[in-house]
A and B are shown apart, each in its own frame.
Chain A
Amino acid sequence: MATLNLKNLKKTYANGHQAIHGVDLDVREGELIVMVGPSGCGKSTLLRMIAGLEAITEGTLEIDQRRVNDLEPAERDIAMVFQNYALYPHMNVYNNMAYGLKNRGVDKAEIDRLVRQTAAILELDALLERKPGQLSGGQRQRVAMGRAIVRNPKVFLFDEPLSNLDAKLRVQMRIEIKRLQRKLGITSVYVTHDQVEAMTLADRLVVMNGGVAEQIGTPMDIYNRPQTPFVAGFIGSPAMNFIQAQLHEGALTLGDQTITLANPPDFNGAVVVGLRPEHMHRKPDYAHQLMLHIDLLEPLGADTLVYGRIGGSGDELVVRLNREFRNLDNQAILPLYFDCDELHLFCAKSQQRIN
């Protein structure tokens, strides 16, 4: 159990490119933090800075209140699971797991006990004599986890550990990782670009963009109250709809329709309105109405995605309706209802949330 503190961490490469623009984060004991963002947002760099594989240009990194900026990875007492597993191909599973302990000078009997105990947790008992080349993707993934767990580190680091697995296995391993992390209670940082993985695993989520932590919060916080259009668009699937609109004295003009907001923010001018596809409904139980000109239907089985646009605005919208909507009578315009509490308003200029 350990805490992890990032204080204004910055990274500038030798060629002058600044990858991380100052990130602050306090990770509590036993917490699972997921860093999520598009590729090139700096999430992996940040993780590698925590691991000690990438030098920290500025700021302080503390593990258990101890400054570790200048320590080697091995001295930081962290363990890392890599995307391509990075198992040693010439060692069998047992030795792969024992290697870190051997280097630490743990005695043989103790190594044996720890490796066997960890192997039992991960159901690797029968595979201890195998080489990585003889294992399936999921098994290799488990060995990589075992190699990390066996040392009982202060902090666990995961660098997109599931992206090399097929979809079914990914879901299975995701659940397994979460269960294991809960059971062992080890402070963890997990990097992924997959927002479903991020939402399901995280105690708290860090949404990264362009080397900046755009928002830090619990998954539901971030889903319910995204601070910027970037965060709003990144979390949630299908992505949130954005409509360019004008707000004036509490009246919101969307294309050719105007809505009077119940709790208007104190703002006048151009706004970006965010509305999630799942928050538009066909039943007239909601205060506001919107007319959608239908372009295309995408039946997904459980749901049907409806693509279209609203009159007087060029912005394309996606709506998630349940599967019963099949548009058999070839309706061109669909009335949809929503609650103005579900609207996310962002200032068009500062890109910050205003309601």
Chain B
Amino acid sequence: MVENRRWLTLFSHLVIWLGIALVALPLWIAFVASTHSSDMIMSGTLPFWPGEYMWENYSRILFGDAADAVGVSVSTLLLNSLIMALGIAIGKIVISMMAAYAIVFFEFRFRLFSFWMIFMTLMLPVEVRIIPTFEVVASLGLLDSYTGLTLPLIASATATFLFRQFFLTIPKEMLEAARVDGAGPIRFLFDILLPLSRTNIAALFVIMFIYGWNQYLWPLLVTNDENYYTVVMSIQRMLAVGDDEVAWNVVMPATVLAMLPPVLVVVLMQRLFVKGLVETEK
């Protein structure tokens, strides 16, 4: 706003603080709950300030079994999630970049057709094709494996589309100059295209890592072995205790820990991420 009105400023600040409180309060409550004993939480009134059980709660789930329903420690779950999220993020970037490279820079039959085929799958969420995909994964014997967790989710229309749009902005002459300089298709990809896509890759990595980390339905379907459980789906298992009391002193620290890696990725890659979304470096 150009105008400098006192009340307007005050009002807009108020709205901002309200928004922050709305978003941050549940997180704060989750954190506070993770630092109290089970009895304290079950008593009905949750204190507003952290309690003394923080160390105990966290070390218990990190080093011991998370819960009766989940026979492994949360550190194993976190590791599984990490492998899955990294696998999906890196796999998506590699596959989409190569697909976009082929579609933009090579002349071949059905080029446009392949692009539209990829583009159309944008409209289909994972859940729509989840039954046939499960069937395929099961027949291939990939249940309870990292391959089964990551591979079916690796193809990405969104990332392919983003890379395509970026590649289209690279002047044709750049490719020709590289050809004259003796760079073949592979060299062009690695020496020119890859460094130029750096910020795009970072942005996609952040988005795709979070996408992979937050997968819930798919790991729930393809894992029976506790050693392959991911942290997000396990939280649901911890809650599904039937008539028993929910062990909030276990669920809450697990939730807080499950939130940390995506936050870390965003914070660490924020600069590149924003750059990749708003800026094209040419």
Contact = CB atoms under 8 A, between A and B. Distances in A.
Contacts of A89: 196, 281-282
B182 A53 contact: no
B192 A74 contact: no
A170 B146 CA distance: 61
B279 interface: no
A72 B181 CA distance: 11
B191 interface: yes
A264 interface: no
Interface residues of B, number: 19
Given A88-B192, A89-B281, A89-B282, A78 B173 contact: no
Nearest to A95: B191
Contacts of B187: 103
Contact of A103 (B171, B181, B282): B181
A53 B192 CA distance: 18
Given A89-B281, A90-B195, A103 B180 contact: no
Chain A interface residue count: which class? 20 to 34
A100 B179 CA distance: 9
Interface in B216-269: none
Nearest to B173: A86
Interface in A133-189: 133, 147
Contacts of B196: 89-90
A231 B23 CA distance: 74
A80 interface: yes
Interface in A52-104: 52-53, 72-74, 78-80, 82-84, 86-90, 99-100, 103-104
A222 interface: no
A51 interface: yes
B174 interface: yes
B195 A80 contact: no
B174 A86 contact: yes
A243 B20 CA distance: 81
Contacts of A86: 171, 173-174, 176-177
A99 B173 contact: no
A100 B183 CA distance: 8
Given A88-B192, A99-B191, A74 B174 contact: no
Given A84-B171, A90-B195, A103 B183 contact: yes
Given A89-B196, A90-B195, A53 B174 contact: no
Given A86-B174, A89-B196, A73 B183 contact: no
A51 B171 CA distance: 18
A57 to B, nearest CB: 16
A250 to B, nearest CB: 55
Contacts of A100: 180-182
Contacts of A73: 176, 179-180
Interface in B180-221: 180-183, 187, 191-192, 195-196, 198
A78 B281 contact: no
Contacts of B183: 74, 99, 103
B176 A82 contact: yes
Interface string A33-45: 0000000000000
A84 B173 contact: yes
B27 to A, nearest CB: 39
| Max chain B Cβ within 10 angstroms of own Cβ: one of A72, A99, A133 | A99
Given A90-B195, A90-B196, A72 B179 contact: yes
Contacts of A147: 177, 181
A88 B281 CA distance: 11
A118 to B, nearest CB: 14
Contacts of A78: 180
Contacts of B173: 82-84, 86
A88 B190 CA distance: 13
B8 to A, nearest CB: 40
Contacts of A104: 182
A99 B178 CA distance: 9
Given A82-B173, A84-B171, A84-B173, A74 B195 contact: no
A50 to B, nearest CB: 11
B174 A88 contact: yes
18 contacts: A53-B180, A73-B176, A73-B180, A74-B180, A74-B183, A80-B177, A82-B176, A82-B177, A83-B173, A86-B171, A86-B177, A87-B177, A88-B174, A90-B192, A90-B198, A90-B281, A99-B178, A147-B177
List of 8 A-B pairs having minimum Cβ-Cβ separation, nearest first:
A74-B182, A100-B181, A86-B173, A103-B182, A86-B177, A90-B195, A82-B173, A73-B180
Given A53-B179, A80-B177, A99-B181, 13 more contacts: A73-B180, A74-B182, A78-B180, A83-B173, A86-B171, A86-B173, A86-B174, A89-B282, A90-B198, A100-B182, A103-B181, A133-B281, A147-B181
